[in-house]
Amino acid sequence: MKGRVVLKNVSALIIDDDEIQGNYLKHSLEAIGAAAVLVFDPDEFLSVLKEDDFDIVFIDYMMPKANGLSIFHSVLSEFGGSFNTPTLLMDNDFTESFGKEIFRTGYTNYLEKPVSKDSLSAALYLYLPKEKFVLQRERQHLHERGASEVKVPVVPESPVYEDEGVPAFLYEVEGMDVKEGLKNCGSAESFVSAVKLFHGSIKKKADEIEGFFNNQDINNYTIWVHALKSSARIIGIAELSEKARLMEEAGNKGDLSAINEATPGLLSDYRSYLDILSRISEDKDEDKDNKLPEIPPDVLNDAYESLRSFSDEMDIDLCEMVLKSIKEYTLPKEDEERMKKLYEMLLELDWDGMKKILPRE
């Protein structure tokens, strides 16, 4: 038999500069009962960490502004040299020497990205107080530092994922394995959300990679192709993920010849998904004859007020909830265009841009 963890009154804090991967872990935690907070900026992360108590913390290693080791040093500095909350570093590749450095820094352990549900369940079982979770079914083994084998619960290896709600055209996208994306994301809703985030960020991230490439800024180039590798893998685009992996490997080795030769093709393939996935952002107005009701002025005002508040808090989920609810109404042309721009900015996490175009109270 296999098993899984169901959490009770658990709060988790995640920092990951990549919204797809961050939301993937956030949804994985929420699916088993945790309250998860996701932030993207090291300064915001430290601020949130000081304001609230969390049961477990997840920190991405490779980010543009700072890496996971320097972030944890900042955490130790803020908390007087000691931080007792279980804290896990996340990265794609770990070597024995890097693992030793992680533990010397003070991390509890580390997880390979994208974080599998098995390893997530194991970590939660190992590092949370026993009263914080309920075990369902049997346990499996996890190897970890200082122990030969530890019995831990895991989710089933081959669960049945519902694909109702996945747009049919995605099954026809060449190079995309929808079943793999569903397996990685855990549900149709999370998968479609991840695809939308991936599509909405292509232009900005491709331009960033190209800029670092043109300037021969190999350090930042490597960080961004590293993120692309994981994001593409999560939604089932294996070939693009593999091309990004090879460029990350070349960046880590300083192999400029390989980077110069392969990057134009990588960028071309990446940008091709702007058109290929464009239908993911289209509204599903299947019954055009049923005209939507006009939005009442007070409902529109409440929506703008909520968006102002949630954008100040940088709350992606609540902003998205408001923007989705608005689609149940017919809006004045100006407001319809504004809502469309707000959604595009939300996908790019352009909080300042959102604040600029939101009507004032």
- Kindly state whether residue 159 falls inside one of the protein's structural domains: no
> What pLDDT digit, counting tens, does each position of 243-261 carry?
999 999 999 999 999 999 9
Residues 135 and 175 in one domain: no
pLDDT value at residue 1: 30
pLDDT value at residue 56: 96
Amino acid, single-letter form, for residue 309:
S
Residues 114 and 242 in one domain: no
Range of the domain at 149: 3-153
Tokens matching residue 231: 């994001």
pLDDT value at residue 135: 60
Overall number of domains in the chain? 3
Residues 191 and 217 in one domain: yes
> What pLDDT digit, counting tens, does each position of 213-245 carry?
999 999 999 988 988 998 898 899 999 999 999
pLDDT value at residue 184: 79
- Kindly state whether residue 15 falls inside one of the protein's structural domains: yes
The DSSP output letter for 57 is: E
Query: Are 123 and 92 within 8 A, CB to CB?
Result: no
Percent of the chain with pLDDT over 70: 86
pLDDT value at residue 131: 85
Rounded to two decimals, the pTM is: 0.61
Residues 175 and 261 in one domain: yes
If one compares 343 and 40, the residue with the highest pLDDT of the two is 40
> What pLDDT digit, counting tens, does each position of 173-211 carry?
989 999 998 887 777 877 888 898 889 889 989 999 999
Q: In the listed set 227, 255, 281, which residue is the last one of a domain according to the structure?
A: 281
Q: Mean of the pLDDT values across residues 139-148?
A: 41
Kindly report the CATH number assigned to the domain that includes residue 62: 3.40.50.2300
- Kindly state whether residue 51 falls inside one of the protein's structural domains: yes
Kindly report the CATH number assigned to the domain that includes residue 230: 1.20.120
Residues 20 and 131 in one domain: yes
pLDDT confidence bin for 57, thresholds 50/70/90: very high
Q: Mean of the pLDDT values across residues 33-48?
A: 91
Residue 147 above 50 pLDDT?
no
Residues 172 and 80 in one domain: no
Closest CA to 31 of 94, 100, 109, 117: 117
Residues 241 and 271 in one domain: yes
- Kindly state whether residue 290 falls inside one of the protein's structural domains: no
Tokens matching residue 184: 């990685």
Q: In the listed set 226, 247, 281, which residue is the last one of a domain according to the structure?
A: 281
Residues 51 and 186 in one domain: no
Cβ-in-10-Å burial (0-12, 13-18, 19+) of 82 comes to exposed
Residues 192 and 128 in one domain: no
pLDDT confidence bin for 158, thresholds 50/70/90: very low
Residues 257 and 305 in one domain: no
Q: Mean of the pLDDT values across residues 333-359?
A: 86
Average pLDDT value over all residues in the chain? 83
CA 252 to CA 243: how far, in whole Å? 14
Other beta carbons less than 10 A from residue 109's beta carbon: 19
Q: In the listed set 224, 249, 281, which residue is the last one of a domain according to the structure?
A: 281
If one compares 39 and 285, the residue with the highest pLDDT of the two is 39
pLDDT value at residue 4: 59
- Kindly state whether residue 316 falls inside one of the protein's structural domains: yes
Residues 136 and 196 in one domain: no
Helix spans in the chain (H): 19-31, 42-51, 68-78, 96-105, 117-127, 178-185, 188-214, 218-234, 238-253, 256-276, 297-312, 316-326, 333-347, 351-357
Residues 104 and 210 in one domain: no
- Kindly state whether residue 163 falls inside one of the protein's structural domains: no
Tokens matching residue 338: 């504004």
- Kindly state whether residue 229 falls inside one of the protein's structural domains: yes
pLDDT value at residue 282: 64
- Kindly state whether residue 291 falls inside one of the protein's structural domains: no
pLDDT confidence bin for 8, thresholds 50/70/90: confident
Query: Are 48 and 5 within 8 A, CB to CB?
Result: no
Query: Are 7 and 124 within 8 A, CB to CB?
Result: yes
